[in-house]
């Protein structure tokens, strides 16, 4: 029996494509960055979707990169002229990965306890602020 031309044919995407189709551009961009960090630099990273629509790539304690799906930004462990961590950014995936790998190397030689006293962001603080509504 031939299909009726007036009835649309509904096909379901394979599971791996369904997940990608549902992801926001920010999450896809963050996952691409995490993949480059792991594949090219040997740095594992986690991706977290934020309620703002942005996504977060957790590279290490104190090194969190944000993306809106177009560019990346993060707080650098390198100090500005005023002695505080500086904001870094990159508009391309490869540049962001290179700079984050360099910043990761800086943080790897610092004692972990020193991060608690720094102005660098910690994943728990960001996730808590994103998930908990102010009272």
Q: Is pLDDT above 50 for 40?
A: yes
- pLDDT over 60 (residue 102): yes
pLDDT at 125: 76
Q: Which tokens is 97 given? A: 């990965």
Lowest mean pLDDT among 25-34, 99-108, 111-120: 111-120
State mean pLDDT over 26-49.
96
Q: Which of these ranges, 33-37, 79-83, 105-109, has the smallest mean pLDDT? A: 79-83
Assign residue 83 a region: left if phi > 0, alpha if psi is -120 to 50, beta otherwise? left
């Amino acid at each position: 029996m031939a299909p009726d031309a007036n009835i649309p044919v509904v096909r379901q995407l394979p599971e791996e494509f369904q997940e990608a189709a549902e992801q926001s551009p920010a999450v896809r961009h963050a996952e691409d960055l995490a993949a480059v960090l792991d594949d090219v630099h040997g740095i594992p990273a986690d991706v977290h979707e934020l309620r703002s629509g942005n996504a977060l790539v957790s590279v290490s304690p104190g090194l969190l990169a944000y993306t809106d799906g177009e560019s990346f930004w993060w707080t650098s462990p390198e100090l500005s002229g005023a002695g505080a961590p500086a904001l870094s950014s990159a508009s391309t995936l490869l540049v962001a990965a290179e700079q984050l790998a360099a910043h990761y190397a800086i943080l790897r030689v610092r004692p972990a306890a020193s991060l608690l006293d720094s102005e660098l962001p910690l994943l728990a603080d960001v996730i808590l602020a994103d998930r908990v509504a102010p009272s």
